Structure 1
Amino acid sequence: MKIKAAVVNGVGEDYQIEDLELAEMRPDEIIVKIVASGMCMSDETIRKGGTSVSMPVVLGHEGSGIVEKVGEAVKTFKPGDQVVMSYAYCGHCPSCRTGRPAVCDDWMKLNFLGVRDDGSHTLHKENGTPVGNFYGQSSFATHALVHESNLIKVGKDADLRLIGPLGCGFLTGSGTVINGLKPEAGSSIAVFGTGAVGLAAMMAAKIEGCSNIIAVDIHDSRLEIARELGATHTINSKEEDPVEKIREITNGVGVNYSVDTTGVTPVMKTALTVLSKSGVFAPVAVSKNGIEINPTAELIMSNKSIIGRLMGDGIPQLSIPQLAKFYKEGRFPFDKLVKFYAFDEINQAAHESVTGAVIKPILIMDENYKVEAK
């Protein structure tokens, strides 16, 4: 099956829209016609060589679309179903069977190695050159060949042009708070970086009942949006020292929780520093950067913790419908953060995301899609 896809042929190269061949569907696979896909900073990190993903590759992991064809072994989806795509997982390892698919034993293989279980590729160039798959979906394309574990069914009234980003960025930010930090009502939190992931974390903190929600960034425009979405305090760290300001806000105690979405070493260090005793820090950025800590002085003596939560430790089939429900209730207004682009504007969308001009770019692959009437 011929499709169009945005291919990254080498580290740092622009996306190129190319004709590719989609492999023959297997009995447990599904073909999805992609309506739209969010762009995530993880895509940009990989495009620039920040991880060891092999190229050429088709990135994209926040896709949404309509099921076009299902394999004979597929039982839970049928042609015409509207779906959001998220990460792939095996479904049968101990982690999956105990409700932790985000730490599936085969997570890296299924999401980052670019091939099926048996090493075969789902995408090829017209000359036969294999092209890597990403997150089991490669949603920067007109069609995707996926396993049913990648899919989450949504209602016919859901706008597929909008909801794809629930599959990664917004899932990661909100899940880190709801599933990872689990803040008590009335507690305090500082979120460093007010991109899509950070603002999702902040909105989730508001849903969970945090009283002090502190947004930290270097862009006043983003801090203004953070205030609109529930931040009780904002700090431009270019103009104020966030450590001193957070101490002032919390009467010298520090925050109960902090989240870093930047992956910048000094910022991560600050996110740990501003914690109160028994505070918990969650770094979530995809980054090669690290921090040096003295466990005795910085963790043990103050009973602080650092936790990791891949994909917000969310179960997509449960978490994404929950976020969609929060959106309908007006409690998770992520639509305020998006800007739509035509598929062939992908390089412009990537550039505007990196510069901070846009928080969440969404590419529209199917310009003819219309939401069904309610």
Structure 2
Amino acid sequence: MKAAAYFGVKDIRIVDIKKPEIDDHGVLIKMRACGICGSDVHVYNSGLLLEDSTKEVDNYRIIGHEFTGEIVETGRNVRGFKTDDRVVSVHNKGGMAEYVEVPGDRLKNLFILPNGLKYETAATLEPLCNPTHSFHLREPRDDETVAIFGSGIIGLGYLQNVKARTKARTIIVDVSDRRLEVAKKCGADIVINARKEDPVKKIKEITGDYYVRYQKKSAGGCQVSVDCAGTPLTLQQCFEVLHPEKGTAIIAAIYEDEAIIDPNMLLFKYMTVHGSMGYFEHETQEALDLIASGKVNRDIL
């Protein structure tokens, strides 16, 4: 069968590998759709996260881990799944192949697709799980302002969570007009192209410009800010736009370059900082329900 294999930095090739076999506890899935995760991009660009995001098959590293498909074979000890079930998988590796074997100890990451939900739509489930977890780390209130840096699949997923659950004002920053247009379709209240204007200055104009004692830089008025871009610059901007004494920053990106953090900014702004990587099992079902109910529209992504 055909599969997409990692050969080196910026070198992905289609290879022929053996069709996988299952044991008494696993299932075999015929692939229908597989998403390209941000971690896949890191693998492609730098080799970062290679072992965590790929599966070794026939001495190849097969990429892809967020996918949908149809179960074509089940082990005799499998319960809860049957042949012909339409399923979505989160973080089972080796998804960019014609068939994927999911072992018994990984079936907890397999979910039945609701009737009518398209394979392509459901393949965006995992990048909604991550921002669903980020949302719960500090749920914005209706009268608060949230700044989101990065209008990619994670930033947009966080935006969709906020808009589906609250009336909070949302500001999203990116360098791509195309991505910002999608953000508007997802309900963003304000979009800022950082190539065209200074996002920190603009956010301070919108939310207020506050004095911070012992600091050279003032503060914005956002109660929550989220870095989904993963650059040293956006991390600093994420911190700076937070309201003094009331701000929570959520780091929801992977950084290929080291970032310098000014601890005095955290100290004198009484800032709360959360790292957000992954999600709990119940949040997967929660995200799937958001998609199936139509509360978030993943097709526009």
TM-score, normalised by the number of residues in structure 2: 0.86
Within the alignment, does 1:37 sit opposite 2:1 as a pair?
A: no
> Once the two structures are superposed, what CA deviation does each residue of 1:241-287 show, in whole Å capped at 9, x if it has no partner?
11111111112252111111111111111111111122111121222
Aligned equivalent of 1:235: 192
Q: Which amino acid aligns with 1:47?
A: Y
CA contact (8 A) 1:137 1:145 kept: no
Q: Which amino acid aligns with 2:150?
A: G
Q: How does 1:20-35 map to 2 (within 5 A)?
A: 20-35=17-32
Q: How does 1:325-336 map to 2 (within 5 A)?
A: 325-326=292-293, 328=294, 331-336=295-300
User: What secondary structure is seen at the aligned counterpart in 2 of 1:272?
Assistant: helix
Q: How many Å separate the matches in 1 of 2:130 and 2:143?
A: 22
Matched length: 280
Structure 1 position 52, deviation (Å): 5.0
Q: Could you say what the CA RMSD is over the residues aligned between the two structures, in angstroms?
A: 1.9
Question: Which structure would you say has the larger RCO, counting Cα contacts within 8 Å and 6 or more residues apart?
Answer: 1
Aligned equivalent of 2:160: 203
Q: How many Å separate the matches in 2 of 1:28 and 1:304?
A: 47
Q: How does 1:138-153 map to 2 (within 5 A)?
A: 138-146=94-102, 147-153=106-112
Gap regions ≥5 residues in structure 2: 210-219
Structure 1 position 160, deviation (Å): 1.1
Within the alignment, does 1:11 sit opposite 2:9 as a pair?
A: yes
Aligned equivalent of 2:247: 279
Q: Which amino acid aligns with 1:78?
A: K
Within the alignment, does 1:163 sit opposite 2:167 as a pair?
A: no
> Once the two structures are superposed, what CA deviation does each residue of 1:127-181 show, in whole Å capped at 9, x if it has no partner?
xxxxxxxxx3311111111131220111232211321111x2222233312x222
TM-aligned CA distance change 1:312 to 1:282, over 3 Å: farther
Q: Which amino acid aligns with 1:32?
A: I
User: What secondary structure is seen at the aligned counterpart in 1 of 2:50?
Assistant: coil
Aligned equivalent of 1:108: none
Q: How many Å separate the matches in 1 of 2:25 and 2:285?
A: 21
> Once the two structures are superposed, what CA deviation does each residue of 1:28-66 show, in whole Å capped at 9, x if it has no partner?
211111111111222121123341525831111120011
Q: How many Å separate the matches in 1 of 2:277 and 2:77?
A: 29
Aligned equivalent of 1:299: 266
Within the alignment, does 1:59 sit opposite 2:50 as a pair?
A: no
Q: Which amino acid aligns with 1:68?
A: V
TM-aligned CA distance change 1:186 to 1:273, over 3 Å: same
Q: Which stretch shifts more, 263-272 or 286-295? A: 286-295
Q: Which amino acid aligns with 2:38?
A: M
CA contact (8 A) 1:50 1:287 kept: no
Q: 1:72 aligns with which of 76, 92, 101?
A: 76
User: What secondary structure is seen at the aligned counterpart in 2 of 1:269?
Assistant: helix
Q: Which amino acid aligns with 2:68?
A: S
TM-score, normalised by the number of residues in structure 1: 0.70
Within the alignment, does 1:175 sit opposite 2:157 as a pair?
A: no
Q: How many Å separate the matches in 1 of 2:50 and 2:186?
A: 35
Percent identity between the aligned chains?
A: 27
Aligned equivalent of 2:215: none
Aligned equivalent of 1:289: 257
Q: Which runs of 4+ in 1 moved over 3 A?
A: 312-317
Q: How many Å separate the matches in 1 of 2:190 and 2:242?
A: 16
Q: How many Å separate the matches in 1 of 2:288 and 2:192?
A: 32
